[in-house]
Amino acid sequence: MPSRLRTITRRTLIVINIITAIFFLLSSLAPYVKPTDSWFISFLGLGFPFLLVMLAGFVFLWLILKLRMVWLSLIVLLLGYNSIRVFWAFNTPSSFKYEKTPGTIRIASWNVARFLEWKRNNSEKSKTRLKILDQIKTQNPDILCLQEFFYSPDSHFYNNIEEIRAMGYPYFYFSKDPDGDLQFIGVIIFSKYPMIDTGMVRYFRPSMPEALVHADIKVNNDTIRVFTTHLQSVQFRKRDYDAIEEIKQTEDSLFINSKTVLSKLKKAMKYRSTQADVVRQILDDSPYPTLFCGDLNDIPNSRTYFTVRGNMQDAFLEKGFGIGRTYSSLSPTLRIDYIFTDDHFKINQFTRIVKYFSDHFMLMADVEPLSLKGKR
């Protein structure tokens, strides 16, 4: 009987291994398949980290049991190499050196979640807003890209632009999307260096994210182009997060809740894929050495990431370590904020500021210009 039980257990594990391997390979296709062609593969891409862990677990299991099934998992992992290399940064962990090296540009990117509070008061959210501003002042980058930025000239609301300009950023460019009477949300670039030109592109309707903006910035005698954007979010509300918790707890409303969440995921994936094509085309047309910062609202194993990044360097992969989570909710695997540079720059160091003020973490990198001559 024990021998028969071992046989059944082994066969069951082999079947699970094969199913995991198939799903893993399909999830590895997510960067190359448009969500409009197969939303299922795009959705599987979200599960890539968990499938990777399961597959690695089977490798260790079969090694312990000394079974040839280990080759199946190893071969499948090898086939998924392109997805693995953008999921995990394999550098040696190191601390960020805050004394800036001469000749480098320190750039930071942060989704500040509208600063949590808009109206002037002494609420807990207003106190957190002050912590966000203090963090910006403490990190003191040369160029600062912020997403979900709130601004209002109305004296009853916070004028965040003037508060950040007072920190030593005389130059800025803001997408300024109306969100009420004299209330504006958008993406913004602040700079200690002069801006000689700016530009903005709004994405196609009916998606409603912020725009793609750029600023041509004069660094000494040369010019660089800095982009920032915020792509379509899933737009989960509190009831959606509650639904996800119910799904985790497998309550009776599992099917209804799953249907609602999946519908929002499918819609957002489709919009982001289209927006990514727009971003890539505009990045390709840049006449100057390019830095890109943004909240792509998508993971590395996605078509959005691969399209927007193209051949650019990912600052986290160059100098970071591990998974590099940038979004503090839902899952520890969500790296959805990025700093990219083209090959006119060398990335010297990178850090995440893991403070739970916004629902995103600030990213910061020191980049060294190798050649700031225009690309044309």
Q: In order of start, what are the domains of the chain with their CATH numbers?
A: 2-87 (no CATH), 105-369 (3.60.10.10)
Average pLDDT over residues 230-248: 57
Give the separation between CA 9 and CA 82, rounded to whole angstroms. 33
Check pLDDT > 80 for residue 240. no
Give the separation between CA 251 and CA 244, rounded to whole angstroms. 10
* Residue 95 confidence (pLDDT): 92
Check pLDDT > 50 for residue 171. yes
pLDDT confidence bin for 255, thresholds 50/70/90: very low
Tens of pLDDT along 30-74?
999 999 888 899 989 999 999 999 999 999 999 998 888 999 999
Tens of pLDDT along 93-132?
989 999 989 999 999 999 999 999 999 999 999 999 999 9
Q: Does residue 69 sit in helix, strand or coil?
A: coil
Please say whether the dihedral angle defined by the alpha carbons of residues 287, 293, 299 and 304, taken in this order, is positive or negative.
negative
Report the chain's mean pLDDT, rounded to a whole number. 90
DSSP string, 96-113: ---SPPTT-EEEEEEE-G
CA 78 to chain centre: 25
pLDDT confidence bin for 243, thresholds 50/70/90: very low
154 CB burial (10 A radius; 0-12, 13-18, 19+): middle
More confident residue, 151 or 5: 151
* Residue 371 confidence (pLDDT): 67
* Residue 265 confidence (pLDDT): 85
* Residue 111 confidence (pLDDT): 97
Neighbours of 273 (CB within 10 A): 22
* Residue 163 confidence (pLDDT): 96
- What backbone phi and psi angles, to 5 degrees, belong to 369? -65, 125
Residue 215 tokens, joined? 């600023």
Tens of pLDDT along 73-93?
999 999 999 999 999 999 999
Least Cα distance to 188 among 220, 152, 150, 131 occurs for: 150
Percentage of the chain exceeding pLDDT 70: 90
* Residue 375 confidence (pLDDT): 60
pTM of the model: 0.90
pLDDT confidence bin for 246, thresholds 50/70/90: very low
Percentage of the chain exceeding pLDDT 90: 74
pLDDT confidence bin for 372, thresholds 50/70/90: low
